[in-house]
A and B are shown apart, each in its own frame.
Chain A
């Protein structure tokens, strides 16, 4: 019991993910700033932002559905902590929990659902526009994401447990094969869309619909939305590492190697973010369904053939 609480609240769960997320969020802002020939924010910027938001007044919109408005960011925060634990346990301790990869798949959608519910509960025009766009984006990337998860399952000989997936890669990570490369790259693009980062920041487009679903949020609730976003910087790359890069080996030089793997994914995401302008929603849908879908399907077939 104590173990479980420790896992959930401290090490791979809440605290670790939140702190690492805020630090990686700083890396993102700093590297983006360097891309634009700026100096960028100081190291503790994201911590300051978060604590500042915690101390501000919360305004609950009069016409909103109050229970939904308040619970959306908190539920999303809870789900992400749980996800961090579920993915962190096999990565760091080699243990499996009761569920398998399908639990992870379901939990991953909850964040998007909460963005939609929270955005549409306020009654603000921009928020509901953003919520609508979020639904379309989920429609666009979800199928690809499922196939991206299917490829390692097939390649490992139909293992569904997360720890077993890592064990199947002990002789060589899945990215070493053609289907692995296809799956990894498609997975990277899916993460980008799931985190609503450029070029898929369509629901939160700051310059046209002013952060969309988050527009009416203020104070601590907004702080939790921001924290959720930073926690995704940890959860999603960890999942990709688990599925394609063979997990972490935490002995000796393995630690350095683990950090490098994580940084590789984060830096790839930041480069994608900074070199691409925002797509329109129909272009994004077309991109996912017409271009990426056949490609990952070929990857899946290759995985079945064992190439």
Chain B
């Protein structure tokens, strides 16, 4: 199994779910994908379909509308899949804690493997987070 995990660690394909964020986290994720940070070095690639994904990047508070969709996306993904929660909204619901349409914390909806807090987290922080994920897989 460890041989396979090493392969998996070297080729994480990322699918981005935007679960009603303020959009700032999304922009930081897009920054992460630009040539400046070049995460293809680590074999990370952004894919457009959840069926190809190994990592589900989720950002934002989970509101009423998006909650069933996250669940559905998670069930449509081929296992093994890792859920990485980006932003303070995910970990603590941040500035939207008192909002009228917030629903549940994301960990009640899907099992989260990793939190990357920050409002929004810098691309460097995200790279560090993903590197930690790779490190866990390599063990």
By the criterion CB–CB under 8 Å, are B41 and A41 in contact? Answer: yes
By the criterion CB–CB under 8 Å, are B35 and A37 in contact? Answer: yes
User: Nearest CB to that of B8 among chain A residues?
Assistant: A52
List residues of chain A with CB under 8 Å of any chain B CB. 29, 33, 36-42, 44-45, 48-49, 51-52, 55-59, 206-207, 210-211, 214-219, 222
Choose from A37, A40, A219 the contact partner of B78 (Cβ within 8 Å): A219
Q: Is B20 close to A, CB under 8 A?
A: no
By the criterion CB–CB under 8 Å, are B41 and A49 in contact? Answer: no
User: Nearest CB to that of A61 among chain B residues?
Assistant: B51
Q: Is B65 close to A, CB under 8 A?
A: no
By the criterion CB–CB under 8 Å, are A45 and B38 in contact? Answer: no
* SS class, residues of chain B in contact with chain A: loop
B residues 75-90 touching A (CB-CB < 8 Å): 76, 78-80
* SS class, residues of chain A in contact with chain B: loop
Q: Is B71 close to A, CB under 8 A?
A: no
C-alpha gap A195/B54 in the complex (Å) = 26
Choose from B7, B35, B47, B48 the contact partner of A36 (Cβ within 8 Å): B35
B residues 32-86 touching A (CB-CB < 8 Å): 35, 38, 40-41, 43, 47-49, 51-52, 54, 76, 78-80
C-alpha gap A217/B50 in the complex (Å) = 10
Residues A42 and B41 in contact in the complex (CB < 8 Å), given A37-B35, A211-B48, A222-B51: yes
Per-residue contact bits, chain B 18-34, to A (CB 8 Å; 1 contact, 0 not): 00000000000000000
C-alpha gap A57/B35 in the complex (Å) = 31
Q: Is B100 close to A, CB under 8 A?
A: no
User: Nearest CB to that of A127 among chain B residues?
Assistant: B49
C-alpha gap A56/B79 in the complex (Å) = 6
Q: List 9 A-B contacts (CB under 8 A).
A: A38-B41, A40-B40, A42-B10, A42-B43, A48-B7, A49-B43, A211-B49, A216-B51, A217-B52
Residues A33 and B40 in contact in the complex (CB < 8 Å), given A55-B8, A216-B51, A218-B52: yes
By the criterion CB–CB under 8 Å, are A59 and B4 in contact? Answer: no
By the criterion CB–CB under 8 Å, are B51 and A49 in contact? Answer: no
C-alpha gap A294/B79 in the complex (Å) = 51
Q: Is B138 close to A, CB under 8 A?
A: no
In addition to A42-B10, A52-B7, 4 A-B residue pairs with Cβ atoms within 8 Å of each other are A38-B38, A52-B54, A210-B49, A214-B49
By the criterion CB–CB under 8 Å, are A39 and B41 in contact? Answer: yes
By the criterion CB–CB under 8 Å, are B52 and A49 in contact? Answer: no
The interface size bin for chain B is: 20 to 34
By the criterion CB–CB under 8 Å, are B78 and A57 in contact? Answer: yes
C-alpha gap A217/B35 in the complex (Å) = 28
User: Nearest CB to that of B50 among chain A residues?
Assistant: A218
By the criterion CB–CB under 8 Å, are B40 and A29 in contact? Answer: yes
C-alpha gap A52/B79 in the complex (Å) = 12
By the criterion CB–CB under 8 Å, are A206 and B48 in contact? Answer: yes
Cβ contacts under 8 Å, A215 to chain B? 48-49, 51
Residues A57 and B43 in contact in the complex (CB < 8 Å), given A39-B38, A210-B48, A217-B51: no
Cβ contacts under 8 Å, B51 to chain A? 59, 215-218, 222
By the criterion CB–CB under 8 Å, are B10 and A48 in contact? Answer: yes
C-alpha gap A165/B8 in the complex (Å) = 45
Cβ contacts under 8 Å, A58 to chain B? 78
C-alpha gap A40/B43 in the complex (Å) = 9
Cβ contacts under 8 Å, B47 to chain A? 211
Cβ contacts under 8 Å, B49 to chain A? 210-211, 214-216
Cβ contacts under 8 Å, A49 to chain B? 11, 43
By the criterion CB–CB under 8 Å, are A59 and B78 in contact? Answer: yes
Shortest C-beta distance, A221 to chain B (Å), equals: 10
Choose from A33, A52, A210, A222 the contact partner of B38 (Cβ within 8 Å): A33
Cβ contacts under 8 Å, B40 to chain A? 29, 33, 38-41
Residues A56 and B48 in contact in the complex (CB < 8 Å), given A45-B11, A49-B43: no
